[in-house]
Amino acid sequence: MAYRRRYQIEFNHCDPAGIVFYPRYFELLNSVIENFFKDGLGRPFAQVIAEGNGSPTVTLEAQFTAPSRLGDLVDFTLHVRGVGRSSVDFHTILCGADGGMRAEFKHRVVWTQGLASAPWPDALRARLEAAMKEDTP
């Protein structure tokens, strides 16, 4: 199952030239992951944090192919590409409303208890693996 999230580019995302300042994409990407946990995995970040857990990003690769501008509608499509003992690999594509690719992200997050990596809870692992299977062509 691919997870999709649409955003409108706002003034606060842009540099003085009116295009998205690249670090803002990482903030939007984090929002996509946070909402995927809530909507796709049934575990909002507020609950994760309240339980003493976390899911920080440990690797992130980005390729920017076209600018996004103030007022643009953009769609992030997140794919689960691999589930490890305590990690998950995501591949996220960012497109404009016209379907043209704007950026691509490959990223890994880990499940933590306190400040140490820990195995995924069984229910989350099952949902991650199901999402990966549903998204495999």
CA distance 37 to 48: 9
CATH number at residue 127: 3.10.129.10
Per-residue pLDDT at 1: 76
Using only C-alpha atoms, what is the Rg of the chain?
15
For the whole prediction, is pTM greater than 0.85?
yes
| Domain extent for 56 | 3-135
Spatial neighbors of 67 by CB under 8 A, at least 6 apart, are 19, 20, 102
Q: Please say if the pLDDT value at position 137 is more than 90.
A: no
With contact defined as beta carbons under 8 Å apart, do 78 and 36 qualify? Answer: yes
pLDDT digits (tens, 9 = 90+) for 1-53: 799 999 999 999 999 999 999 999 999 999 999 999 999 999 999 999 999 99
Per-residue pLDDT at 19: 96
pLDDT digits (tens, 9 = 90+) for 50-89: 999 999 999 999 999 999 999 999 999 999 999 999 999 9
How many distinct structural domains can be found in the chain?
A: 1
Spatial neighbors of 133 by CB under 8 A, at least 6 apart, are none
CA angle 27, 124, 47 (to 5 degrees): 60
